[in-house]
Structure 1
Amino acid sequence: MNRIDDLIKKVDADRLMTTAATIAQWERLSGSDGERQAFDYIESVLKDLGFTCQRHDPVCLVSLPGAASLEIVGDPDPIRCITHSFGVSTPADGIELDLTDAGSGSNSDFARAEALGKAVLMDGLATPNSVAPAESFGAAAVIHNSGDQIHEMTISPVWGSPTPSSMQLLPTIPHLSVDKDGAARLREHLEAGRCKVRLSATVETSWKPLPVLLADSPGFDEMLRHVLLSGHVDSWYFGAMDNGSANASMLEVARLMKECQAEMHHGLRLAFWSGHSHARYATSTWYADEYWSFIHHYCIAHVNIDSPGGMGATDLSGASTMAETHRFAEDVFRYVADTDLNYDRIGRLGDQSFWGVGVPSFYCSISQQPPEPTPTGVGALLGRGGGLGWWWHTADDTMDKLDPEFLVRDAKILFATVHALCTEPKIDFDQAGVAREIRATLEDLQRVAGQDLDLTRLIELSRNLEELGTIFRSIELSEEAADEEIALYNGCVTGVSRILIPVNYTVSGEFEQDPAIPGEPLPGLQPMRQLPERRSIPDAYYPWLTKLRRERNRLEQALIESTNLLAQATSIFLMEDDA
């Protein structure tokens, strides 16, 4: 460990902060001149380090919010507001609508609010989850109560640029956000009787080229099997934390990994994305589409980094991973930061565009604000903790929001993760952990709706896979292990991931992208939970039962294929041990 210790000590606070400040001098809306200047700077640094760089400019659907206004008819004081990426523009002189209150935005709240043709006030951040219910109940506009701060958001549920079938999912009405004081004023007028509002919104949505920068470590072409380290360059405003500090951390990792070239068993590809914030992860999705076969054959892991080093970001307990990568990451956190890492299943955010390809993933944010008893704002969006700071997605995301000590800590964790993935010959992922997660999910679904769809065989298959995965992970590869042995072991680990991740994380499968909506394990089987309430309505029950039988078959086949792959490799290693 002396080598890694020496390298970790070289993570430099001054260099990280200087690099972040250089990137944060530019406002970096997707496709803007400022963003391209940041890309040019990053590319120049990487070329100086000896990385081989290539730039691409895929055409993507980009949505940039402009001016917005909101006033209560009869009240001379306007309410501070913004509009959102992929919201719809109003006519230049705005629209006048009756206002109604949909509370938390549930279906029952919308039904009670009689939203048809009205502007609807609802609590919570403007997210894709709010689009479908508002439009299905016929709302003419939505006003989101963003809480203490008004956060810039992207509301499209379409992941990446839309296809002919997903175009219909794009929002069709204006969306604004106000803070809690603005929401309180609106509710005061509602309580006093009928309330009309006048609102306007300007959103520029169009197809335009966006930059992508790929940078390969020296010797990449000889290795091919590689780790993908990625982060977005585009930002809201100057984005010092989100995502200037992440870009700086990636460059710091590149500097240190250059010193490890002779030790690397797997190459390193850095990917810098545009369109994260204003095109719903469009360029990482383009990369998944354009390089699908290359990723499928050669990418062993995706490490994403977003918003490290925020002031007050003391919570390291829940950096997101997959079940197969959690124990690997936990070892890193214990070694670098002397802290445990809870299992926080990676969510549908942060350029996680490679689930269909079956690539194991690490992280998005490494650190967050301390947990709150009742998370609101971004804490609620991320499902835990205090989120990324009150300044997240606001004009206040400036250099004073970075803590150099925390940025060094997070960069060390990032570097140690990438270093271990690139220099350890054995890909030490925990396929038993995946089987355990699948089994627990199946057992829960069986309790809820087992009389509708029997999952007994799948539960038994997942239990067998868990036992086999435990045996397989215990196989020791000596330092003198032949290249063929290492290739057999790693090929099995990667092969199982390629099979299981698509069924454990996607509905659409290997070549499509699911919507940007939070999900649970085995998302294709999750509709089982609604079967009991649909039994009395044949047209609602039997079509879903048919669909779910097919999903059961999909998972069963994946479990069988994974078990066979592990069994074959395990038997070869055990026979060699006996010999």
Structure 2
Amino acid sequence: MSNLPSQSNHNVPRSSGAARARDIAFMKEAVERLCLVGEKISGTEAEQQACDYIVSCLEAFGLEARVHKFDAYIGFPTETALTLLGDEHHSLPAVGVAFGAQTASEGMEAVLVHVGRGREADYNGVDARGKIVLVDGIPDYDPAVIALEHGAVGMVFASRNRQRPKMAISPVWGSPASAEELARMARIPIVSIDEADGERLKAKLAESSVRVHLVARHEEGWRTVRMPVCEVAGREPEFVLVGAHYCSWFDGSTDNVASNVLLLALARQLAEHGRPLRYGVRFAWWPGHTQGRYAGSAWYADQFWQDLHDNAILYINVDGNGSRGANIKVARNQTGEISGFSARLLDELAAPIEEPERQWLEQQWRRNEPGIDISRPTRSSDQSFFGIGLSSLQIASMLPLSHVDRNARISGSGGAWWWHSSEETADKVGYEELADDLTIHAQALWRIADAAVIPFDFGVTAHDLLLNLAQFRHEGRGGRIERLIDAVSEFSAEYSRFRARGETLATEEETAPFNRIHLELARQLNPILYQRGDRFAVDPALDSRQLPGLEATLQLKALDERSEPARMLAITLTRQSNRVLHAILTATRIVRRAWEGSLRH
């Protein structure tokens, strides 16, 4: 049975009219202006130009913009080269990777060996010591760590596509908070080439030994970056946070200029609306996403933790929208409680996508937890707010699998082949598609920010919890899982009665406390579902799963329970179980008190 909601992926129909034409004209001009800035590296003059343009647009709308300036840990490549050595040296076009290691200015020379996708098993029978390894795929942290463990001195990643993607491989979410975090970097020189050149190298390797010369130079360190923000106040203090990173590799037209412009168009619509919505809307253009692994949104979470905790209803992440041909709209990075709302919204605006697209999504976005909806958040996309407990939503735009620009191995830029490459220029934006994205985001924003009852359903969240706990019970050991299942079941029953009460509320005075209770539930349940560690910190920028703190149940089962590692892991698991149980019991008390108190009339 598919775990993709039947109404969460759709083709949005085109509308017509003067308002749409005006929006398209504005967005086209803004995209072209921001693309002309070029590669928007955080902490550089290009970032200053992009920031100034965003602020000038907001001020032209009659809105007050503010620019936060702060230091962030930024990395980006500056000089990259790869040469095939032999009777005739042959230069291969290559791009750099941030947060690896630098070669000396003259570069390095070594034998090249192919190690498949760079997984541990791919090194069986391969001596990589002192060699440069050729890896199939996009530069990533885990293969870099494995390469270092096997003694490799350099890496060449060959994409399975015609682009040469620039990437950052830092495992640190945001700027490092300690020397220990910084020490986790995989310090190995890395370059990125396209699939065709990768195949040429593999063909050479099949014939004889191959030596290559590699240059990988970069800048890395603390830089002052700029974050433009703008808030449109509502009638009540709560607000929806809408964010999009505005740093980019190359021109970055579809990752993420088009989404930056979408935020500007949303802000203009709010400015022209004339009447405050019930709740405010806060727009943020994040720096340090591309060259700092979400450094901007992480800084914002740190600096405004209490305000976000007390008043933020939802984080809407806007990323990768507007690629030409990207008319498939997919809800992703959404917490369970908002998923019913997004399904209804998209079902109203468009028809379901075709089955081949659904199957691709199921395969490409599959999760580490059996049965969990693939639209649930991953460790990506500026999701810096789970320690605080914010709910989350993202509406992505994908090209159909049959589209000439689609590469089935890529999810960024709507699956377009040009993602993170020098080909990601202004002509790759589709303005009818971007106008559809604007319609969807505007409808989502208005319906949440002006809602009588915030459209959350934590019954879905409870279902996610139970599915995860069932897996831990079946495949793991320890963690008092049965007690946790009982606690979630009790919460689910209490919440069902409470939510039914909300259907009878009418006035804003009546619904205000009901909505506040839903924010309190998010603050309890989302941290345990999406965060392993401290609520005031962030987990590493590595793959994770729901209820990550209880993953130790799966690790414990593989150990001798009398061994020292098992005994220490059992202590960790007990503490994490206490953390999860406390959150669930607290959520249940919140609902029960509301049911028995002022809302029970």
The one-letter code sitting in structure 2 at the alignment partner of 1:65 is P
Question: Is 1:432 matched up with 2:443?
Answer: no
Counterparts of 1:289 and 1:242, CA distance in 2: 25
CA positional deviation for 1:177: 1.2
The answer to whether the 8 A contact 2:128-2:152 is kept is yes
Residues 265-344 of structure 1 aligned to structure 2 (within 5 Å): 265-339=278-352, 344=375
Deviation at 1:399, TM superposition (A): 2.1
- Of the three residues 452, 468, 471, the one matched with 1:444 is 471
Classify 1:528/1:381 alpha carbon distance in 2 versus 1 (closer, same or farther; 3 Å).
Answer: farther
| 1-structure distance, mates of 2:240, 2:271 | 14
In structure 1, the residue matched to 2:489 is: 463
Q: CA deviation at 1:343?
A: 5.4
Following superposition, the deviation at residue 529 of structure 1 comes to 2.1
Instruction: Quote the Cα distance in structure 2 between the aligned partners of 1:348 and 1:361.
Output: 12
Contact 2:396 2:414 survives alignment (8 Å): no
CA distance in 2, matches of 1:296, 1:574: 23
Q: What secondary structure does 1:367 align onto?
A: strand
User: SS state of the match for residue 501, structure 2?
Assistant: coil
Q: What is the 5 A alignment of 1:32-43?
A: 32-43=44-55
Q: Please list every run of 5 or more consecutive structure 1 residues that lacks an aligned counterpart in the other structure.
A: none
Whole-angstrom CA distance in 2 between matches of 1:24 and 1:360: 32
- How far apart are residue 71 of structure 1 and its match? 2.2
Q: Is the 8 A contact 2:228 2:284 kept in 1?
A: yes
In the TM superposition, 1:468-507 aligns within 5 A as: 468-476=494-502, 480-481=506-507, 483=509, 485-507=510-532
Distance in 1 separating the partners of 2:301 and 2:152: 35
* Closer/same/farther in 2, CA of residues 444 and 206 from structure 1, 3 Å limit: same
Match of 2:386 in 1: 355
2-structure distance, mates of 1:6, 1:477: 36
Map of 1:58 onto structure 2:
70
**Structure 2 match to 1:22:** 33
Task: Determine if contact 2:76/2:291 at 8 Å carries over to the other structure.
Answer: yes
The letter of the residue matching 1:188 is A
Structure 2 CA distance for partners of 1:215 and 1:169, relative to 1, 3 Å = same
TM-score normalised by structure 2 residue count: 0.88
Q: Within 2, Cα distance between the matches of 1:362 and 1:6?
A: 28
What aligned pairs does 1:109-508 form with structure 2 within 5 A after superposition? 109-148=122-161, 149-164=163-178, 165-217=180-232, 219=233, 223-339=236-352, 344-363=375-394, 366-371=396-401, 379=409, 387-450=414-477, 452-476=478-502, 480-481=506-507, 483=509, 485-508=510-533
Alpha-carbon distance in 1 for matches of 2:307, 2:199: 53
2:488 and 2:20 map into 1 onto residues whose CA distance is 43
* Alignment RMSD (CA, Å): 2.6
Would you say the 8 A contact 2:505–2:511 is kept in 1?
Answer: no
d(CA) in 1 for partners of 2:380 and 2:112? 32
**1:403-428, Cα deviation, whole Å (9 max, x unpaired):** 22211111111111111121113222
Among residues 554, 567, 576, which one is paired with 2:579 in the alignment? 554
Where do residues 533-544 of structure 1 align in structure 2 (5 Å cutoff)?
Answer: 533-535=558-560, 538-544=563-569
2:107 to 94, 97, 104: 94
TM-superposed CA distance for 1:157, in Å, is 1.1
1:523 deviates by 1.1
Shift of 1:336: 2.6
Distance 2:343 2:374 in 1: 9
Shift of 1:12: 2.3
Tell me by how many angstroms 1:440 deviates: 0.1
CA pair 343-197 structure 1, distance change in 2 beyond 3 A: closer
The number of residue pairs the alignment matches comes to 562
Unaligned runs of at least 5 residues, structure 2: 1-15, 359-372
2-structure distance, mates of 1:6, 1:78: 52
- Aligned with 1:63: secondary structure? strand
In terms of fraction of residues, the more strand-rich structure is 2
Q: Describe the superposition over 1:448-490 as per-residue Cα deviations: whole angstroms up to 9, x where unpaired.
A: 014x44411111212222233333333335674252x323211
Which of the numbers 98, 106, 111 marks the counterpart of 1:85? 98
Deviates more, 1:262-271 or 1:527-536: 527-536
Q: Give me the whole-angstrom Cα distance separating, in 1, the residues matched to 2:434 and 2:495.
A: 36
Q: Deviations over 1:211-270 (max 9, x none)?
A: 0111011x45x6331111111111112122221211111111112122445351111111
Is this contact kept in 2: 1:21–1:244, CA < 8 A?
Answer: no
Give distance in 2, aligned partners of 1:472 and 1:120: 58
Paired position in structure 1 for 2:541: 516
Contact 1:432–1:468 under 8 Å retained in 2: no
Confirm or deny: 8 A CA contact 1:128 1:155 kept in the other structure.
Answer: yes
Greater Cα offset, 428-437 or 118-127: 118-127
> Alpha-carbon deviations, 1:179-198, whole Å to 9, x = none?
22222232233333433322
CA contact (8 A) 2:410 2:417 kept: no
| Deviation larger for 203-212 or 453-462 | 453-462
Verify the 8 A CA contact 1:68 1:82 in the aligned structure 2: yes
How far apart, CA to CA, are the structure 2 residues paired with 1:565 and 1:499?
A: 10
Output the CA distance in 1 between the equivalents of 2:255 and 2:300: 21
Instruction: Tell me if structure 1 keeps the 8 A contact 2:401–2:407.
Output: no
Letter in 2 for 1:175: I
Secondary structure at 2:188's aligned position in 1? Answer: coil
Q: CA deviation at 1:362?
A: 0.8
Q: Secondary structure at the match of 1:89?
A: coil
Among candidates 79, 85, 89, match of residue 76 of structure 1: 89
Cα distance between partner residues in 1 of 2:552 and 2:93:
40
Alpha-carbon offset, residue 84 of structure 1: 0.6
